[in-house]
Chain A
């Protein structure tokens, strides 16, 4: 199957770190992406990681990849109320289509 799995919901307080998890399916996936979707908006690319990397850091965002377990995580440091949104992980291998997870709704409370 093509099920990319994510937990449905995460709630944190402003200033805390958020960790959003994803389990993907295709061990040959070349790229793994994180997209953010705010209400009524399209998908905004946050970051991506090559499959030959274990970690990528971009300002407040840290992506960790465990290829053995096909597990991807997104850590948001110092989470702000503006980070409240739905976060999608997605996998892609070469010319194959981009396959999205079900999305994790992040709620940041003041």
Chain B
């Protein structure tokens, strides 16, 4: 069974530029999550989708971050414009349902200069 796929693996941009990350969850997983992991910390949930609906986006900085999962499968996370403090690893995870075990992708390492 294929795992959670993410791209790109690495991205370097300058502040005030825009960037987008892509995630393809495990087949059949209805719930998809985006996490931000700052160096030296544990992952922090940004947004959770159940199929194509948002369940929890309470920690998403909505003035600059947006995410969508239009067809209930793939998802994109966008940052516009990026700030220096957005430098982090962005992890995507998926689970069968909201109470099930989460499986993580390899992450996208973002560096904002």
How far apart are the CA atoms of A33 and B43 in the complex, in Å? Answer: 13
- With A94-B99, A95-B98, A97-B48 already in contact, the answer to whether A42 and B104 are too (CB < 8 A) is yes
Q: Is the CB of B103 within 8 A of A45?
A: yes
Known: A42-B91, A95-B98. A102 touches B42 (CB 8 A): yes
Contacts of A24 in B (CB 8 A): none
Q: A98 with B106: in contact, given A43-B43, A43-B91, A103-B41 (CB under 8 Å)?
A: no
Q: Do the beta carbons of B106 and A42 come within 8 Å of each other?
A: yes
Residues of A within 8 A of B102 (CB): 45, 98
Return the CB mask of A70-93 against B: 1 if under 8 Å, else 0.
Answer: 000000000000000000101010
Closest CB in chain B relative to A64 CB, distance in Å: 20
Q: For residue A95, which residues in chain B have a CB less than 8 angstroms away from its CB? A: 98-99
CB within 8 Å of A: which residues of B?
A: 4, 6, 33, 40-45, 48, 56, 91, 93, 98-99, 101-107, 109
Give A35 to B6 CA distance when docked, in angstroms.
19
* Cross-chain contact A97 with B42 (CB below 8 angstroms): no
Q: Is the CB of B101 within 8 A of A100?
A: no
Chain A residues in 8 Å Cβ range of B109: 40
Top 9 closest A-B pairs, CB basis?
A: A100-B42, A42-B104, A43-B104, A42-B106, A97-B45, A42-B107, A95-B98, A42-B105, A100-B43
> Of residues 93 to 110 in A, which have CB atoms within 8 Å of B's CB atoms?
94-95, 97-98, 100-103
Q: Which of B4, B42, B56, B106 contacts A101 (CB 8 A)?
A: B42
- Chain A residues near B44: list those with CB within 8 A: 100
A88 contacts B42, C-beta separation under 8 Å: yes
A-B CB contact pairs (8 Å), 30 listed? A4-B42, A30-B99, A35-B104, A40-B106, A40-B109, A41-B106, A41-B107, A42-B91, A42-B104, A42-B106, A42-B107, A43-B43, A43-B91, A43-B93, A44-B104, A45-B101, A45-B102, A45-B103, A88-B42, A88-B43, A90-B42, A92-B99, A95-B99, A97-B45, A97-B48, A98-B45, A102-B41, A102-B42, A103-B40, A103-B41
